């Protein structure tokens, strides 16, 4: 049995236990493929995602290793901008993924400086794609599949905005919450009352 380790993030697990919490999730929203390494509320994923948001290198590296299997060959990693309008944590995540895979990174998206979507949603005023104003500011290689990289997919609005700025590709994240999955069930008539 592998030794148990205690992370600086505060969770204790061996590598086999960590893998057990990762069951890839895939959904398509209006033809946009969205993939996540695991469910936000499963295992240590929530603690890891929160640590990623503040730039914890151990959390970013951990997430990167679990996201690699989601990435197709011939990809270019495209970090999604945060609420400051530029990609910070997602750019760090792309660099971590690239350190293992050698994939190129194209930091070609910018957005509006705005309130965080998480904050806006909890104040009852979720943001729209228009509010985020994500746009492409440089070209991407035409022979590569853009893989938009985010920490967490919650409502899917940021993911859709990034995709629509370029018009092709796919979105990957470390974790996906229930919000988007519930929206999909309602849209497809599977909502239980």
Measure the CA–CA gap between 83 and 130, rounded to whole angstroms: 13
CB-CB contact of 34 with 156 (8 Å): yes
Q: What is the residue range of 118's domain?
A: 26-187
pLDDT at 163: 97
Is the pLDDT higher at 60 or at 29? 60
**CA-based max dimension of the chain:** 51
Place 36 in a pLDDT band, splitting at 50, 70 and 90: very high
Residue at 12 is within a domain: no
What is residue 183's three-state secondary structure?
A: helix
Q: What distance in Å separates the CA atoms of residue 147 and residue 76, rounded to the nearest whole number?
A: 6
Is there a domain that residue 133 lies in?
A: yes
| 68 in any annotated domain | yes
Q: How many residues does the chain have?
A: 193
16 inside domain: no
- Answer whether residue 52 is part of any domain: yes
Note the pLDDT tens digit of each residue in 112-161.
888 777 677 777 777 888 988 999 999 999 999 999 999 999 889 999 99
**Does 102 fall in a domain?**
yes
CA–CA distances in Å: residue 112 to residues 33, 35, 76, 127:
24, 25, 23, 12
Q: What is the mean pLDDT of the chain?
A: 84
Specify the number of domains making up the chain.
Answer: 1
- pLDDT, residue 185, reads 56
Rounded to an integer, the average pLDDT of 16-27 is: 64
pLDDT at 63 over 80: yes
What integer is the mean pLDDT of 31-40? 93
158-179 b/e (C-beta count within 10 Å ≥ 16 → b): bbbbbbebbeebbbbbbbbbeb
Nearest to 45 by CA among 13, 2, 68, 74: 13
In percent, how much of the chain has pLDDT > 90?
A: 59
Q: What is the mean pLDDT of residues 16-23?
A: 51
CATH value at residue 113: 3.40.50
- pLDDT of 180 > 80? The answer is no
Q: Is residue 10 part of a domain?
A: no
| 50 vs 11 pLDDT, higher one | 50
């Amino acid at each position: 049995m592998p030794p148990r380790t205690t992370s600086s993030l505060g969770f204790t697990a061996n590598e086999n236990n960590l893998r057990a919490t990762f069951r890839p999730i895939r959904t398509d929203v209006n033809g946009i493929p969205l993939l996540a390494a695991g469910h936000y509320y499963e295992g240590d994923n929530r603690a890891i995602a929160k640590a990623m948001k503040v730039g914890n290198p151990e959390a970013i590296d951990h997430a990167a290793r679990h996201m690699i299997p989601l990435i197709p060959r011939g990809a270019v990693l495209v970090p999604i901008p945060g609420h400051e309008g530029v990609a910070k944590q997602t750019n760090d995540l792309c660099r971590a993924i690239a350190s293992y895979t050698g994939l190129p990174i194209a930091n070609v998206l910018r957005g509006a400086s705005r309130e965080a979507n998480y904050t806006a949603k909890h104040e009852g005023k979720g943001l729209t794609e228009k509010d985020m104003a994500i746009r492409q500011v440089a070209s991407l290689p035409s022979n590569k599949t853009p893989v938009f990289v985010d920490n967490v997919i919650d409502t899917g609005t940021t993911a859709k905005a990034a995709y629509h700025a370029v018009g092709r590709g796919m979105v990957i994240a470390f974790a996906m919450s229930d919000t988007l999955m519930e929206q999909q069930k309602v849209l497809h008539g599977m909502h239980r009352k």
